[in-house]
Structure formats: structure tokens, C-alpha cells
């Protein structure tokens, strides 16, 4: 599935958060969006998912315009978001959380296909099968992230929107997470990845965009951005840079983000409202 965002603008009341954002994701690609807290990354994903209504711009899936569509229609097309901080149902079992990801499919009578996909998720995440009767709230952070991704996969996505999947994970678990992301791409899934761990995101992605204060300020092949001195200084450790296309007043956004202390995009309204596509 291809995704195209053109001139997207989103505001929370009088506060404009996205300013003419444009990007594209081709079928089978991993595309990363990197940037500091408050850059507007989560707002971008929520607008694509239908959780926020843009004030201007267009969103297209496989050439079909979906701007302003309600979330359930977008989910039905195969666009599934894995939200920041997972938003699991802590008191429900691992398996029940996974089945909730297939809610719309079960309503359509796809019970046999759902059971087959459940086994595929267990094959991808053997630890989830071992803990399938445990409540989600008793899992470790890494296991909860596996469960969130597995629940999204149960919806049979055509494009997966990942919001800060490595947030709060230990380094070894981050490596495992990105191995799984690479495996999903090899299976033909299209992924749009929002990440503050810029190094890992750029290593995993085919192409990438850099967001600052609601604008795309750089884009290109991920490998090229990984070697770019300005990107290295801004996001991979180094002195504060001046990125081409950035406004001088935005210097505060250049500080390298501390993932472990991050609590999600800090701009107005960036935190989720509890609604979760994968559980629809």
C-alpha cells in the first residue's frame, strides 16, 4: 500500500502543530520520521489514522483520498497504528488483547483466518505464546511492545504506523525490536516509523524525513542521512547544528532527545486520547 501526505496542516484550537507537511511511503518500504519531542511526529500519525482532522492538505492511500475519513474506515483499509506507550488492556490476557486486534475481521466472519494469524503472531513472538494466559499488565516492557505489535498484526494491516516503538526499552530489546521490524518488511509489509532513536531508525529505514516544529526540514535516503554531519550532530550525538531549512528561532528543538526520559511529543495535544486502532 502506498501512502501520500501533501501539504498537511493540523491545529489544536488556535495552535497550529503541522505546517504543510508532505511525505510519501511506497509499497514495501520502511520510511522513518525522526525529530525531537514536540516536532509533531505523533500528530502526523494521528492525522493519517483519522484521529485528528486536518485543517488543510490531502492524505491518499493507493491514490484514494482519505482526508477527514473516520478512523474505522481507515482501519478497514488496512492502516493500523501501534500507539506510543502501547495502550494495552492491562487486566485482559495476552491472547484476549491479540484477539481484540482482529475485532473487525471477526465481525466479518473471518474466524478461521484469524486463528491462523494468531498462530503466526505466536511464531513471530514465542514469548507471547508462553504467556498467553497472563494479563498484559504483568508483562515486561519488551513483552508489552511485542504484544502491541502482535495486536496490530492481528488486524491484517497493509501499512503499519509505529509510534516510538523503542521508547523505554533496554538496548538489547531495542535491537530485537528492529530485527522484528526488518522481518515484517521482508514479509511485504509497508511501515511508517516515528522514532526518537534516530540511529536505529535510519539503519532500519529505506528513506527518512526530519521533522522540526511541525515542518519537514530534511528528507532523503536513510543511509545518506545517517552519514550527514548535520544529522549526526543534531540526533546522533554532537554539538547543536543549524540544519538547512530550519528557522533560527527553532534552535531549542535541536537538542538531542533523551529517549529514556521522553514522555512522547511535547507539543499541545501530542499525547493520545486512549483510542487505539489496533484494538478496533
What per-residue confidence (pLDDT) applies to 242? 45
In 3-state terms, what secondary structure has residue 216?
Answer: strand
Average pLDDT for the chain: 85
Question: Tell me, what's the pLDDT at 18?
Answer: 98
Check if the beta carbon of residue 11 is closer than 8 Å to that of residue 168. Answer: no
- What pLDDT, on a 0 to 100 scale, did the predictor assign at position 169? 85
Q: What mean pLDDT do residues 37-52 have?
A: 95
Instruction: Please tell me which residue, 255 or 22, carries the higher pLDDT value.
Output: 22
Outline which parts of the chain fall under CATH 3.40.50.300.
1-78+180-240
Least confident stretch, 107-116, 197-206, 217-226, 238-247: 238-247
What is the pLDDT at residue 85?
A: 73
The pLDDT of residue 188 = 92
Give 1-78+180-240's CATH code, choosing from 3.40.50.720, 3.40.605.10, 3.40.50.300, 3.40.50.450. Answer: 3.40.50.300
* CA distance linking residue 8 with residue 44, whole number of Å: 8
Q: Which residue has the cell 473516520?
A: 70
pTM attached to this predicted model: 0.80
Degrees (nearest 5) of the Cα angle 153, 60, 200? 50
- Residue 263 or residue 131, greater confidence: 131
Amino acid at each position: 500500500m502506498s501512502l501520500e501526505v501533501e501539504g498537511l496542516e493540523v491545529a489544536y484550537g488556535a495552535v497550529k502543530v503541522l505546517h504543510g507537511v508532505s511525505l510519501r511511503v511506497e509499497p514495501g518500504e520502511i520510511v522513518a520520521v525522526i525529530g525531537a519531542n514536540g516536532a509533531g511526529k505523533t500528530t502526523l500519525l494521528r492525522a493519517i489514522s483519522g484521529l485528528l482532522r486536518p485543517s488543510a492538505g490531502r492524505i491518499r492511500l493507493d491514490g484514494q483520498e482519505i482526508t477527514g475519513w473516520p478512523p474505522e474506515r481507515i482501519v478497514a483499509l488496512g492502516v493500523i497504528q501501534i500507539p506510543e506507550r502501547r495502550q494495552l488492556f492491562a487486566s485482559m490476557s495476552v491472547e484476549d488483547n491479540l484477539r481484540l486486534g482482529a475485532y473487525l475481521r471477526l465481525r466479518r466472519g473471518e474466524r478461521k483466518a484469524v486463528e491462523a494469524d494468531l498462530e503466526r503472531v505466536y511464531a513471530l513472538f514465542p514469548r507471547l505464546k508462553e504467556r498467553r494466559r497472563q494479563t498484559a499488565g504483568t508483562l515486561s516492557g519488551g513483552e508489552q511492545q511485542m504484544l502491541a505489535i502482535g495486536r496490530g498484526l492481528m488486524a491484517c494491516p497493509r501499512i503499519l504506523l509505529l509510534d516510538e516503538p523503542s521508547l523505554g526499552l533496554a538496548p538489547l530489546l531495542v535491537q530485537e525490536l528492529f530485527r522484528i521490524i526488518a522481518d515484517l518488511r521482508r514479509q511485504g509489509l509497508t511501515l511508517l516509523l516515528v522514532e526518537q532513536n534516530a540511529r536505529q531508525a535510519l539503519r532500519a529505514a529505506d528513506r527518512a524525513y526530519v521533522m522540526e516544529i511541525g515542518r519537514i526540514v530534511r528528507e532523503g535516503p536513510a543511509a545518506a542521512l545517517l552519514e550527514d554531519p548535520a544529522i549526526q550532530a543534531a540526533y546522533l550525538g554532537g554539538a547543536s547544528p543549524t540544519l538547512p531549512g530550519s528557522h533560527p528561532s527553532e534552535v531549542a528543538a535541536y537538542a538531542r532527545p533523551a529517549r529514556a526520559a521522553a514522555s512522547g511529543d511535547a507539543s499541545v495535544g501530542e499525547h493520545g486520547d486512549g483510542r487505539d486502532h489496533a484494538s478496533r
